[in-house]
Amino acid sequence: MAVSVRIPTILRTYTGGDSEVSAEGSTLAEVLDDLDARFAGIKGRVVDEDGKLRRFVNVYVGNDDVRFLDDLATPTPEGTQISVIPAVAGGC
Amino acid sequence: MSAAVTEADQTTSTENTGPREGAFGNAVALACRECSHRVDLGPFYACPECFGPLEIAYEFPAITRAEIEAGPRNIWRYKALLPVPTDIEASPNTEPGFTRLLEAKNLAAELGLARLWVKDDSTNPTNSFKDRVVACALSAARELDAKVFACPSTGNLANAVAAAGARAGIKTVVFIPSNLEQPKQVNSAIFTESLVAVDGNYDDVNKLASEIAGEEEGWAFVNVNVRPYYAEGSKTLGYEIAEQLGWRLPDQIVIPVASGSQLTKVDKAFQELIKLGLVEDKPYRIFGAQAEGCGPVATAFKAGTDAIRPVKPDTIAKSLAIGNPADGIYVLDIARRTGGAVEEVTDDEVRAGIVLLARTEGIFTETAGGTTVAVTRKLVETGQLDPELETVVINTGHGLKTLDAISGQVGAAATIAPTYESFKATGIA
Ligand SMILES: Cc1ncc(COP(=O)(O)O)c(C=O)c1O
């Protein structure tokens, strides 16, 4: 399933500067694998050695933080917008 | 926004693209709090290695109490310890800080504490502690040549950004959740023509701001891309408390927690004061205060876990309503390391806390302060605060901004005819 992924500034070195790329996969985990196949190493920035989302990254499928959904198993239907955003913003 | 100074910038042209010499005072780099990776000073906030938060690293010169005491009666007395240039006073700012530290004998008696102080930050220029962080962020924005000064906010930060931007003559754009308290909306809109109300909660607004920060050139989002500089402003709360206590640290301190940035920086301030020899090293305990409707850090503290599960906020303490607190895990670390705790109270307790502080000390706090006072009461009752030790609570904002939270609770005791008999009949005399 084709989805669109928004890339944060600090990962754009992997995507040749592109802020938005497309990827395939029916779950977030599959999408990340597909991204890694195209942009080698990018997945390791988003997930840690244990394969879990890093503490300081938020991933949204549509408008929802995947921590409220099924984490890496969150379904990513055709046309979904995925956003990867550093979690350290804030202070209110 | 200009990039960090690279070697090429420094060695080549006359056309200087990086920040000027001394733009960030004694700050020398940005360092990741998670993995210690270092980055040049610039508009960067997330570690390129692990996404961890970047913090300011310093090389402080020797500094004395007398030098600090000779400074202005605002946060710039501590400028040597902040990422700001030595001529910071020359640039228009709102000059926040050096707010009163009041000994609160009535409240202490009410709570059963031996000695208690309220650090009253509701008297800052826009009536919250946010003027401190914004003053530092404004300095960074200026030194980085930003064209727009912006923030996502639960209200107080937007007020502070809009006011400071007006004084500095820089365009401001502030983003808030659309259901925010009306007085906080007016307090921003009076200073800026670009108040943007977003249909969503703070976490949605924050996400939007992060996306805009990634796309728009020349925007300084105080709590996103210049966050390392911004966050340092909260250290001044810690410095002031120590100085106002006669250059010593309190035994216990209770601090409201939303993102957790303020609590984390008060601890950083205490550690720096010890390291610089400005106060004696001693144990201190730091306590965090949250409302039950948004208490992800308190929940994790009580569960004994390191991971914080985000929540969807539902509380009258809207200024503390961050469901996914960026510095939450550091709050947990600090509370545990210092023998403190993170506690939470109901909205009714928050209201009671507001009334209690007002009726014992004549200080009208907003919901965040109500939360802090109510949590302090609960900490005493549950034996987590030691009643014999000296305690400081921070009042971070003014009650006039959250009138709705309390207006149903207080009001006229009686409505009478303008006659002495009517008054007598009330039984008040
Ligand atoms: C009045 C008040 N107190 C406390 C806080 C919490 O600050 P922090 O995000 O640094 O934990 C806020 C945040 O907006 C606030 O407005």
Write the pLDDT tens digit of every residue in A31-83.
999 999 999 999 999 999 899 999 889 999 998 899 889 999 999 999 999 99
Preferred mutation among B50, B180, B210, B396 to probe A, highest tally of A CBs within 10 A: B210
Query: Which single residue is written with the structure tokens 């409220």?
Result: A68
pLDDT (mean) for B82-103: 96
Q: Is the pLDDT of residue B375 over 80?
A: yes
Q: Are A87 and A58 in contact (CB under 8 A)?
A: yes
Contacts of B303 (CB under 8 A, 6+ apart): none
Measure CB to CB from residue B324 to each of A65, A83, A91 and give the nearest one.
A65
Percent over 70 (pLDDT), chain B: 96
CA distances, B360 to each of B83, B105, B118, B246, B396 (Å) = 38, 8, 12, 25, 17
CB pair distance less than 8 Å for B213 and A67: no
Q: Is B189 on the interface with A (CB under 8 A)?
A: no
Which residues of A, range 55-84, sit inside 8 Å of B by Cβ? Answer: 55-58, 60, 63, 65, 67-68, 83
**Which three-class secondary structure state does DSSP give residue A76?**
coil
In the sheet that holds B101-103, the strands lie side by side as B101-103, B115-120, B390-395, B252-256, B285-291, B342-345
Preferred mutation among A47, A56, A92 to probe B, highest tally of B CBs within 10 A: A92
Q: Which value, in Å, is the radius of gyration of the alpha carbons in chain B? A: 22
Tokens of B191: 């200073």
Q: A53 - beta bridge partners?
A: A47
Measure CB to CB from residue A92 to each of B202, B204, B310 and give the nearest one.
B202
Give the whole-angstrom CA distance, residue B158 versus residue B173: 9
Q: Which value, in Å, is the radius of gyration of the alpha carbons in chain A? A: 12
Write down the pLDDT at residue B325: 92
Of A41, A72, A39, A76, the closest CA to residue A61 belongs to A76
Single-letter code of the amino acid located at B236: T
CB pair distance less than 8 Å for A89 and B133: no
Give the whole-angstrom CA distance, residue B158 versus residue B195: 8
How confident is the model over B141-163, as pLDDT tens digits? Answer: 999 999 999 999 999 999 999 99
Of A81, A68, A62, the closest CA to residue A4 belongs to A81
Query: Which single residue is written with the structure tokens 């550093």?
Result: A86
Give the whole-angstrom CA distance, residue B425 versus residue B429: 9
Give the whole-angstrom CA distance, residue B130 versus residue B233: 9
Of the two residues B50 and B349, the one the predictor is more confident about is B349
What chain B residue is nearest to A7 in terms of C-alpha separation? B214
Of the two residues A92 and B299, the one the predictor is more confident about is B299
How confident is the model over B274-287, as pLDDT tens digits? Answer: 999 999 999 999 99
Measure CB to CB from residue A86 to each of B154, B210, B230 and give the nearest one.
B210
Give the whole-angstrom CA distance, residue B290 versus residue B25: 34
Q: Is B258 on the interface with A (CB under 8 A)?
A: yes
Single-letter code of the amino acid located at B351: R
Ligand 1 binding site (Cβ under 6 Å of any ligand atom): A 91-92; B 128, 154, 156-157, 256-262, 319-320, 366, 368, 396-397
What chain B residue is nearest to A60 in terms of C-alpha separation? B207
Give the whole-angstrom CA distance, residue B79 versus residue B73: 12
Write down the pLDDT at residue B6: 43
What chain B residue is nearest to A9 in terms of C-alpha separation? B214
Strands A57-61 and B115-120: unpaired
Q: What distance in angstroms lies between residue A73's CA and the mean position of ligand 1's atoms?
A: 34
Burial string for B196-218 (b: 16+ CB within 10 Å, else e) reads bbbebbbbbbbbbbbbbbbeeee
pLDDT band at B318 (very low <50, low <70, confident <90, very high): very high
Write down the pLDDT at residue B307: 87
Give the whole-angstrom CA distance, residue A45 versus residue A85: 12
